[in-house]
Amino acid sequence: MLGLKLPTDPRWVNIVEKNIEEILTDHAFCEQKATSTAISLIVSFPEYTELVQEMTALVKEEMSHFKMVHDKIIERGWVLGRDRRDDYVIQLVRFFPKGGSRTTQLVHRLLYAALIEARSCERFRLLSEALQDKELATFYRNLMVSEANHYTMFLGFARKYGNKKEVDAKWQQLLEYEAEIMSNLGNTEAIHG
């Protein structure tokens, strides 16, 4: 369903289980960045009313997810750690050239967002199926559904606002590029890394 070209190595969950505190901190910041992305789309493209409406709802949802993850951190007696570089996203955004029309910029940002959500969904599925901590496994199962909905929403908007045939071709190219990135990642307790 997600179309990812390179699935995450299931052994990634073993890395996560050795440091749950780190994955929860990384996850919390991912939710915060998703909120920022939605706000940025509202600020950058206010003339797209339907997008603004959906991004407004997404801001609320992503911040509620941040709170849920932060609550898990607190429940375990930890504090939210510091944010760190997300090499996955840094490498991903190098794919499309900068510039172009406003519509092109919008489509590219929507495709990046769709792919990040798709990878998060795939990672959450792995965590939901393989974590020994059943409470966290259930937690990630519930979040996985949201991520899948976000992925389809962003991809749907890209197809709506851009030329569908061109968008689909760009999407396939981006998926291939993302597989190359993932071939060098998957060895840290990070949602995307």
Is 155 in contact with 107 (CB distance < 8 Å)?
no
Q: What is the predicted pLDDT for the residue at 185?
A: 77
Q: What is the predicted pLDDT for the residue at 186?
A: 67
For residues 77, 145, 115 and 119, what is the CA-based torsion angle, rounded to 10 degrees? 50
Q: What is the predicted pLDDT for the residue at 184?
A: 84
The per-residue pLDDT string of the chain (193 residues; one tens digit each, 9 = 90 and over) reads: 578 999 999 999 999 999 999 999 999 999 999 999 999 999 999 999 999 999 999 999 999 999 999 999 999 999 998 998 888 999 999 999 998 999 999 999 999 999 999 999 999 999 999 999 999 999 999 999 888 899 999 999 999 999 999 999 999 999 999 999 998 876 777 888 6
Q: What is the predicted pLDDT for the residue at 86?
A: 87
Q: How far apart are CA 90 and CA 182, in angstroms?
A: 12
List of domains in the chain: 10-184 (1.20.1260.10)
Q: How far apart are CA 143 and CA 119, in angstroms?
A: 13
Q: What is the predicted pLDDT for the residue at 1?
A: 59
Give the pTM: 0.94
Q: How far apart are CA 12 and CA 164, in angstroms?
A: 35
